[in-house]
Structure 1
């Protein structure tokens, strides 16, 4: 299986610390050697890097560690191929447009028998079940809501319904973002932590590396980090429940009662 890493925060933040530990799982501390990728939102734009090499051998991965890129929403993925060849077009995350908005998607799991009819509005470029599911999600969203983007309150329950539908065909741990919200569905295993004032020191589990977040943050900062497995040894990560769907905005889990007040837009 693959592994996922996501970050959602209330102010642009770099993901160097978390990505450093996460990338080691791409062939050193774990078996995910079949490619990797990462996408950073910057306003309405997306910086998107993928590589079919293992993350521990990829010069692009070293670039991410050496040059901090600040973003409010990041999705990263390390791949252990179950469907599709080891090729650039099959590396997550995938990026598509809907309602004039960039959408980024990554999947951990396997849904080999999910073979929906795709109308042509969104078609896979590679040959993974993951990209096929992403195309289906955007196709159904566009069909259901039409040409006008829905509010976050309208979209979230519809996405949750689609995730539950697809998860009936296998394992569907996913992250999806439009640069404003980060939507996360857990079939089997995902964890998250929300770092906010007062900040403490964190120690990576995959490398002898620590950081005192109090030295690099302000009291107003809030950062949610979501990963397949906890990335640190001295922090308390919360586990998602099976079939749980959460929406993160500004570094916090959004209660459903608050979604009406949040526009579907990039801030």
Structure 2
């Protein structure tokens, strides 16, 4: 299995604190030593860094922990290979262009039989079931609309496609088109939202504590998504299996699998 990290914020935000914990899990405090990657959105573009080696031992990962690249949407992944060789082309996150936007995708789990699903416009570069699933999702969206649909219509379509993939196995996923960050829980995923009044937080994986009142503005809203809680003194909310989160500017909307209702997440900055 792998681990995921995502962030959605209403202002460009530094993710070094959360990424430090994820990077340690890539071969030091966790077994996910078969590659890592991270993508930072800047407008419609994305800066991406990948390596097919443990993030805990990577000089590039250490550089990123020291470099404050600020972004409103971030997707990161550390890999424990179960399908596909350990190489660069199989290292998440994957990316493609659709409707003039850069789409980014990372996945944790196994999808039995997904490689038998036909593809038309988008083809995998590597050999993972994850990348095939990503290409299939984009194929389905391309078939439905020639141009970018409204956020509400896209939310519903992404939720429907996630439900189809969820039926194949474990489908924990992060996906973004630079406008929205989507997260689907197939087995394990949690999130928290930081906003005023800000408090302090301490990482689970190393002795690093941050007082967010000193690091953020009073109007900042930042939601972090992870496979497992990254901090020991904050209130993380588990995502229900089969649910999709749609995040814009740090605000969370929960899309239920039955398609009949959606709801705002509970009060984001408290337990």
| TM-score bin, normalised by smaller chain | over 0.9
In structure 2, the residue matched to 1:28 is 28
Match of 1:234 in 2: 233
Distance (whole Å) between structure 2 residues aligned to residue 4 and residue 128 of structure 1 = 16
CA distance in 1, matches of 2:23, 2:101: 28
Aligned to 2:267: none
Which residue does 2:247 correspond to in 1?
248
1:140 aligns with 140
CA–CA separation in structure 1 for the residues paired with 2:211 and 2:75: 23
Is 1:62 the counterpart of 2:59? The answer is no
Q: Is the 8 A contact 2:243 2:254 kept in 1?
A: no
Q: Which runs of 4+ in 1 moved over 2 A?
A: 254-259
Cα distance in 2 for partners of 1:228, 1:170 equals 17
TM superposition score normalised by structure 1: 0.94
Aligned pairs for 1:52-201 within 5 A? 52-114=52-114, 115-119=116-120, 121-145=121-145, 147-201=146-200
Instruction: Give the structure 2 partner of residue 37 of structure 1.
Output: 37
**Partner-residue secondary structure (3-state), 2:122:** coil
CA distance in 2, matches of 1:255, 1:16: 26
Match of 1:262 in 2: none
**SS of 1:81 mapped into structure 2:** coil
Deviations 1:157-193 (A, max 9, x none): 1111111101111100000011121011101000000
**Alpha-carbon shift at residue 112 of structure 1 (Å):** 3.1
Name the structure 2 match of 1:263: none
What RMSD over aligned residues (CA atoms) do the two structures have, in Å?
A: 1.3
The number of equivalent residue pairs is 257
- Deviation of 1:148 after TM superposition, in Å, equals 1.4
CA distance in 1, matches of 2:97, 2:245: 22
**Structure 2 partner of 1:15:** 15
CA distance in 1: counterparts of 2:75 and 2:254, whole angstroms: 22
| Unaligned ranges ≥5, structure 2 | 256-260, 264-271
What are structure 1's unaligned runs of at least 5 residues? 260-267
2:5 and 2:22 in contact (8 A); partners too: yes
1:204 and 2:188 matched: no
